[in-house]
Structure 1
Amino acid sequence: MHRAGEKIRIWREAHRPPLSAEEFGARYGAPEPWPSRTVYGWEAKGKIARPGVQKRLAELGVCQPADWLEPALGQVNTKDKRPMGATHRFYDIHTHGLVRVATATPLLRPADVAYNAQGILAQAREAAARQVDLVLYPELSLSAYAIDDLHLQGALLEAVEAQIAAICAATRDLATVLVIGAPLRRNGRVYNCALALCRGDVLGVVPKSFLPNYREYYEKRWFAHGRHSIGQTIALGGREVPFGTDLLFAHPVIPGFVFGIEICEDFWAPVPPSTRAALAGATVLLNLSASNITIGKADERHLLCRSQSSRAACAYVYSASGHGESTTDLAWDGQGMIYELGDLMAESARFDLVPELCVVDIDCQRILNDRQRMGTFNDGAEADGHPENRYRRIAFDHRPTPGDKGLIRPVRRFPFVPNRQDKLDEDCYEAFNIQVSGLIRRIEATQPKSLVIGISGGLDSTHALIVAAKACDALGLPRSTIRGYTMPGFATSEGTKSNAWRLMEAIGIT
């Protein structure tokens, strides 16, 4: 039950004498009285009122729109008698396979590695304070992207390695996994890399597979590609760290929390590396990007992220470079976005001058369930030779604080229809005609003498009647083919019964 229902009941019963649900609806309902069953639904069943009704109740001072989203104050866990939201593990999002992820747009200066490391740390601490499990930074976030041949300068590369060690030392007590970007040397080559850090350790390093070398890009001048980097290691901080495009990072306890990494241009490739990572088991795909902004490019990024999250049945997390990169040749907007199974879950502000975290809870268990239902996904893994056998899984345990963290996730009021307000008319047209078309085919197949429908005067039966009428029109049948019956019950009022008669007469049925 929500707070609004509780307030409605209290307000109604505060009258002298107390108002029944029917009296309350008749006295205050506008533009028409609210049926008693509707009021009862708000108070006892957690039903949500329409926006117009919410506005009316707010004008009366009964409850505010936000109250429809808040649990009732008196709601109690009857098993242990503690208020809802207590520290029982049931209330921990991780119990249900959800993880909190974020995109970060840190403070940055070109080639100022120490300054950039502090920007990374500042957002890491904020993310930890907000109980984020995984935070993604832009491409080359430690060195900056637009520094041209400085990528090859020994002093800069040494500073990068030193600051990676400093970041590890400073994050040893943070329960957040960081994925940052940096140029790294290996075997006489420089790679554009993503580093996964957890509690002071470098879990692994993933090099960029596809290097753009067209129009304003010339990355092949500086970097070697990592497409064939399989089963390798790289020396960092005095130890050998897994290095390659065959890395997945898996949590041993949280169901389905497995992430893979690709970098910027990789998901503009015809076959992105993230596709194979998803087939190998990654439920969360990360893209560190330094994609510069041009007119219309933000829509293209949305298209690619949405498509990949849908096609690969995963969550796709994207973080692009923002304010602070050099604008000598290019411009930047700091776009961050998070998609899950084709749905946009969160998006950052663009062109912001201050650091920003874009945070949302991703449902890894939902992703696993979707893959289990979709045989084509598993067929794809088999057709690709079972890539899970070729990937190295790096285990990590960031040891998050247990307990109720709340839920940072949009909850759709209508989860089974597209969530597109700008396309509402088109979606309604399509939904209506799907029903009409289906009924036409059924009439053609069964050749009935009549269509029988019960009319209550409510929304559902009205919609069904209109569908039936349109089907008859399309087939050239008289609307008198439809036989309408009222079915009065205990909750039927004179108003709804008269509405049913008027509706049948207006449509012209028998």
Structure 2
Amino acid sequence: MTKRLSIALCQINPTVGDIPGNRALIRASRAKAQTLGADLAVFPELCLTGYPPEDLVLRDAFLDWVQETVEDLARETADGGPALLVGAPWREDGQRFNAALLLDGGVIAGRALKHHLPNYGVFDEKRVFDIGPLPDPIPFRGAQLGVLVCEDMWFPDVAGHLAEKGADMLVIPNGSPYDVEKDEARLFHARGRVAETNLPLLYVNQICGQDELVFDGASFVVNGDGELRLQAPRWAEDLSLAVLSKGGDGWSVEAGGRAPMPSRWEDIYQAMTLGLRDYVTKNGFPGVVLGLSGGIDSAISAAVAVDALGADKVHCVMMPSPYTSRESLEDAAECARLLGTRLDEVNIGPAMEAFDAMLAPVFAGQAPGITEENIQSRSRGLTLMAISNKLGPMLLTTGNKSEMSVGYATLYGDMCGGYSVLKDVYKTTVFALCRWRNAHKPVGALGPEGAVMPERVITKPPSAELRPDQKDEDSLPPYDELDLILHMMIEEQQGISAIVSKTGLDRAKVERVWTLLQRAEYKRRQAPPGVKITELSFGRERRYPLTNAYKG
């Protein structure tokens, strides 16, 4: 009877759809686990296909390839090395399941089918998968593995069923995306399942960026008494070994490594960095180009890009107009110098003059206003898209969540681009991130030590500089008030009356923010993707009708 098991937690970075590449990652991790003496290597949810695979699961040819690859991996385990617990979409009796498959001794030795399919927020698994039955424990070398796939850990019934059926431990492959509140929730539910079953729990999460989602790793092991016994690092690929031994009271976990957890600001910054790095590299772009205005949003976007990709893959462009201040020119140049990036200057004055002349007959008798301001923004967007088309880098958009919430952005202008690292980051958080990055270089960052932007970029009043002496607060409430209102409206989904009652803010101000939020929905539908940071991001997670008369 086995009384000791070594289990490798394989925190890998798969790519959706890249079955050969993901198989290579699994093989490499298995080889490393074997050198460490592991009996079993556990991988994240759907690691063979990448997560989430979305409608790829509906393609029979794709699932045929998955099955062939699983069978090949299973045959390789006949060599006497570590067994594999691999996540993959799996067909049985004409149904499609989200499965964790135990590969051992040359065969598929067992499987668990996901029982709770998330169908909220960014998840829509019920669209592509069928509900699996409550899983039974999987025998493994004298022990009984209680395997729960990701969401199954968030409910007591699956763990309770496994414990009742004789499971010795809970093993949980995950594809759990990051948001600022997720870490506490994971550990809370893990400890809840441990308290209910008195079984040790091993939690394995992937580390990657996938479209608008980022996965932070941070795999962990909790003993049967609820004590955290192993903590893998966040924001890095990793293989950690958990050693379990069987005593008179069942299985327990020996103390393992405890990676330090980042601060809130480093977490957010690392999420933006990983999301951009994987989006650019996995989609084959040679780098990024962005407009560097001398303002805070483009400064932090450029810093993230350099930390993610390296200065040689970041092309900055300053596009002055007659309203651009000398300070902005100086600050953009200093940002580029500190980061070590290329900086070109393209004056949009001639484009503004050309549009004025072109449109003069149509606009005769009309006073200049917002239209002319938008023409400036669109001239910049056109310029940046031309550089992207000609030279190849992806255009990085620099707008933040506060602006996108209220429509303080120009469609086909500063909203042009392929990806946005600030899409789910409020302006007040942008200020905090800039101060944090000027004082800290993140682990793994490719950018420089020390400050990445001059202090003036952070302290001067934000301005679009589309007219003389323009300031953001000419059009919007102060950002501390605006962000408070928006967070209550979006993440907390509170109505106008409740916000007024709880904050004491002027009702007319709150009503105006609500109106702006609703009216800007059509812009957000056409915005580029961006990294999910908060509990409720725009895009697939928050879907409101374009035509909407509801008053809040």
TM-score (norm 1): 0.48
Which has the greater radius of gyration? 1
| Relative contact order higher in (CA < 8 Å, ≥ 6 apart) | 1
